[in-house]
Amino acid sequence: MIASRLLAAVAALTAAVALAGCGTTPAPPVSAAAASAPPPPSLATSLATAGGTWAEVVMGGSVARHDNFWQLFARPAGASRWNLVTPPGTADNGGLILAAAGPSLIAGFRPSQDLTFSPLSATSDNGRAWSSDSPLDAPLASAADALAAAPASENLLALLSDGTAMLAAPAYTSWKTLTTLRTLAGTPAGRHCGLHALTAVAYTPSGLPLMAGTCARPGNAGIFADRDGVWQATGPAIPATLARRPVAVIRLTRIAGQITALLVAGSGHDATLLAAWSADSGLHWMLSPVLGLGAGGVASASFGASGTVAMITTSGSAELVPGERSPWRALPAVPPGTATLAPGPGGTTDALAVRRGTLTVWQLAPGHSSWVRTQTIVVPIQYGSSG
Amino acid sequence: MPGMNSGLNISDPTVVAAFKAALLHQGLIALAIFAVLGLAWVSVRAWMPAGQPATGPPGAAAAEPSWRRLLRISFGLIWIFDGILQAQPKMAVGLPSQVIEPTAASSPAWVQHVVNWAGTSWSYHPMQAGAAAVWIQVGIGIWMLAAARGPLSRLAGLAGVGWGLIVWVFGESFGGIFAPGLTWLFGAPGAALLYCAAGGLIALPERAWRTRRLGQLTLAGTGLFLAGMAVLQAWPGRGFWQGTSGRHAGTLTGMITSMAGTPQPRVLSSWVSSFAGFTAAHGFAVNLVAVAALALTGIVFLTGQPRLIRPALIGFAVLCLADWVLIEDLGFFGGLGTDPNSMIPMALLGIAGYLALTGAPAVAAEPAAVTQDQAGWRARSGRTLDRIRPAAVRSTVAAASIQSVASVGAIGLIILGAAPMAAAQASPVADTILAQAIDGASAPVNYPAAGFSLTDQDGRPVSLASLRGKIVLLGFLDPVCTSDCPLMGQEFRQAGQLLAADRAHVELVAVNYNPIDTQLGYLQAFDRQEGLNSVPNWLYLTGTRAQLQQVWHAYGLPVEVLPAGSMIGHGDYAFVIDQRGHLRQELDFDPGPGTTATRSSFAAELTDAAQHLLAQS
Question: What percent of chain B is modeled with pLDDT above 90?
Answer: 56
Q: What is the spatial distance between Cα A340 and Cα A324, in angstroms, rounded to a whole number?
A: 21
Listing DSSP states for B269-282 in one string gives HHHHHHHHHHHHHS
**A254 against B360, higher pLDDT:** A254
Residue B99 has pLDDT above 50, yes or no: yes
> Among residues B256, B261, B254, which one has the least CA distance to residue B323?
B256
Residues from chain B that touch A84, judged by Cβ atoms under 8 A, are: 563-564
Under a CB-based contact definition with an 8 Å cutoff, are residues A247 and A218 in contact? Answer: yes
Residue A5: pLDDT band with limits 50, 70, 90:
very low
Residues from chain B that touch A86, judged by Cβ atoms under 8 A, are: 563-565
Cβ neighbours of residue A113 under 8 Å, at least 6 residues apart?
A66, A91, A93, A386, B482, B483, B486
Which residues are A53's β-sheet partners? A48, A75
Q: Nearest-5° angle of CA B171, CA B351, CA B200?
A: 45
B512 touches chain A (CB under 8 A): no
Cβ neighbours of residue B565 under 8 Å, at least 6 residues apart?
A69, A70, A71, A86, A91, A92, A93
- Count Cβ neighbours within 10 Å for each residue of B130-142 and write b for 16 or more, e otherwise: bbbbbbbbbbbbb
> Among residues B278, B255, B270, B261, which one has the least CA distance to residue B333?
B261
pLDDT digits (tens, 9 = 90+) for B492-523: 999 999 999 999 999 999 999 999 999 999 99
Confidence at residue B62, expressed as pLDDT on a 0 to 100 scale: 63
The helix or strand, by DSSP H or E, that contains position A263, with its residue range, turns out to be: strand A258-265
Confidence at residue B557, expressed as pLDDT on a 0 to 100 scale: 92
Asked if B517 and A90 come within 8 Å (Cβ–Cβ), the reply is yes
pLDDT digits (tens, 9 = 90+) for A71-111: 999 999 989 999 999 999 999 999 999 999 888 899 999 99
Residue A14 has pLDDT above 80, yes or no: no
One-letter amino acid for residue B164 of the chain: G
Q: What is the spatial distance between Cα B100 and Cα B126, in angstroms, rounded to a whole number?
A: 13
Confidence at residue B209, expressed as pLDDT on a 0 to 100 scale: 80
Helices (H) and strands (E) in chain B, counts: 22, 12
Q: 3-state DSSP call for residue A114? A: coil
Average pLDDT for B208-225: 90
Bridge pairing between strands B506-512 and B471-477: parallel
Question: What letter does residue B168 receive in the DSSP assignment?
Answer: I
Asked if A92 and B565 come within 8 Å (Cβ–Cβ), the reply is yes
Asked if A386 and B483 come within 8 Å (Cβ–Cβ), the reply is yes
C-alpha separations of B493 from B310, B443, B470, B612 in Å: 67, 23, 18, 19
C-beta pairs of A67-71 under 8 Å, 24+ apart in sequence: A67/A381, A67/A383, A67/A384, A67/A386, A67/A387, A68/A93, A69/A93, A69/A381, A69/A382, A69/A386, A69/B564, A69/B565, A69/B566, A70/A43, A70/A94, A70/A95, A70/A96, A70/B565, A71/A359, A71/A379, A71/B564, A71/B565
Q: Within B327-376, where are the H helices?
A: 343-358
Confidence at residue A4, expressed as pLDDT on a 0 to 100 scale: 47
Residue B255 has pLDDT above 90, yes or no: no
pLDDT digits (tens, 9 = 90+) for B404-440: 999 999 999 999 999 999 988 888 888 888 888 888 8
* Torsion-angle region of A95 (φ positive above 0: left; ψ -120 to 50: alpha; else: beta): left
Which residues are A89's β-sheet partners? B567
Testing the interface with A: which of B483, B527, B561, B570 to mutate, by most A Cβ within 10 A?
A: B483
Cβ neighbours of residue B116 under 8 Å, at least 6 residues apart?
B1, B3, B4, B104
Residue B378: pLDDT band with limits 50, 70, 90:
low
Q: What is the spatial distance between Cα B344 and Cα A378, in angstroms, rounded to a whole number?
A: 64
- Whether the link from the prior residue into B189 is cis, omega within 30° of 0, is yes
Average pLDDT for B80-87: 96
B128 touches chain A (CB under 8 A): no
Confidence at residue B6, expressed as pLDDT on a 0 to 100 scale: 74
Confidence at residue A317, expressed as pLDDT on a 0 to 100 scale: 92
Bridge pairing between strands A209-215 and A164-168: unpaired
Asked if A137 and B486 come within 8 Å (Cβ–Cβ), the reply is no
Confidence at residue B179, expressed as pLDDT on a 0 to 100 scale: 87
To the nearest 10°, the Cα dihedral for B10, B11, B17, B21?
60
Q: What is the spatial distance between Cα A214 and Cα B109, in angstroms, rounded to a whole number?
A: 37
Q: What is the spatial distance between Cα B293 and Cα B569, in angstroms, rounded to a whole number?
A: 66
Residue pairs between chains A and B whose CB atoms are closer than 8 Å:
102
B487 touches chain A (CB under 8 A): yes
CA nearest A112 in B: which residue?
B482
Residue B326 has pLDDT above 80, yes or no: yes
Confidence at residue B299, expressed as pLDDT on a 0 to 100 scale: 95
**A130 against B398, higher pLDDT:** A130
Residue A32: pLDDT band with limits 50, 70, 90:
low
B515 touches chain A (CB under 8 A): yes
How distant is the Cα of A63 from the closest Cα of chain B, in angstroms?
17
Confidence at residue B361, expressed as pLDDT on a 0 to 100 scale: 57
Nearest to B563 among A113, A132, A380 (CB): A380
The torsion angles phi and psi of A116, rounded to 5 degrees, stand at -120, 0
Strands (E), B73-227: none
Span between the terminal Cα atoms of chain B, in Å = 43
Confidence at residue A8, expressed as pLDDT on a 0 to 100 scale: 44
Residues from chain B that touch A358, judged by Cβ atoms under 8 A, are: none
CA nearest B480 in A: which residue?
A90
Bridge pairing between strands B443-448 and B582-588: antiparallel
How many other C-beta atoms can be found within 10 angstroms of the C-beta atom of residue A91? Answer: 27
C-alpha separations of B190 from B71, B76, B165, B182 in Å: 18, 18, 10, 10
Q: 3-state DSSP call for residue B146? A: helix
A73 touches chain B (CB under 8 A): no
Under a CB-based contact definition with an 8 Å cutoff, are residues B286 and B275 in contact? Answer: no
Residue A294 has pLDDT above 90, yes or no: no
How distant is the Cα of A355 from the closest Cα of chain B, in angstroms?
15
Confidence at residue B368, expressed as pLDDT on a 0 to 100 scale: 44
> Among residues A301, A220, A202, which one has the least CA distance to residue A259?
A202
Confidence at residue B208, expressed as pLDDT on a 0 to 100 scale: 84
Which residues are A106's β-sheet partners? A99, A122
C-alpha separations of A331 from A48, A371, B168, B537, B570 in Å: 20, 10, 66, 62, 46
Residue B398: pLDDT band with limits 50, 70, 90:
confident
For the ranges A66-80, A194-208, B387-401, B598-612, which has the lowest average pLDDT?
B387-401
Under a CB-based contact definition with an 8 Å cutoff, are residues A343 and A354 in contact? Answer: no
Residue B17: pLDDT band with limits 50, 70, 90:
very high
Q: What is the spatial distance between Cα B309 and Cα B361, in angstroms, rounded to a whole number?
A: 19
Q: What is the spatial distance between Cα A116 and Cα A137, in angstroms, rounded to a whole number?
A: 8
Confidence at residue B253, expressed as pLDDT on a 0 to 100 scale: 87
**B399 against A328, higher pLDDT:** A328
Under a CB-based contact definition with an 8 Å cutoff, are residues B539 and B457 in contact? Answer: yes
Q: Interface pTM (ipTM) of the complex? A: 0.85
Average pLDDT for B42-51: 72
Confidence at residue A301, expressed as pLDDT on a 0 to 100 scale: 95
**B474 against A323, higher pLDDT:** B474
Listing DSSP states for A138-155 in one string gives SPBPSSTTSEEE-TTT--
Confidence at residue B120, expressed as pLDDT on a 0 to 100 scale: 87
Strands (E), B409-505: 443-448, 453-455, 461-463, 471-477
B517 touches chain A (CB under 8 A): yes
Confidence at residue B376, expressed as pLDDT on a 0 to 100 scale: 56
Bridge pairing between strands A372-378 and B443-448: unpaired
Nearest to B567 among A132, A381, A385 (CB): A385
Residue A7 has pLDDT above 60, yes or no: no
Cβ neighbours of residue B384 under 8 Å, at least 6 residues apart?
none
Confidence at residue A348, expressed as pLDDT on a 0 to 100 scale: 93
Confidence at residue B401, expressed as pLDDT on a 0 to 100 scale: 85
Average pLDDT value for chain B: 87
pLDDT digits (tens, 9 = 90+) for B348-363: 999 999 999 987 555 5
To the nearest 10°, the Cα dihedral for B148, B152, B158, B160?
-60
pLDDT digits (tens, 9 = 90+) for B547-578: 999 999 999 998 999 999 999 988 888 999 99
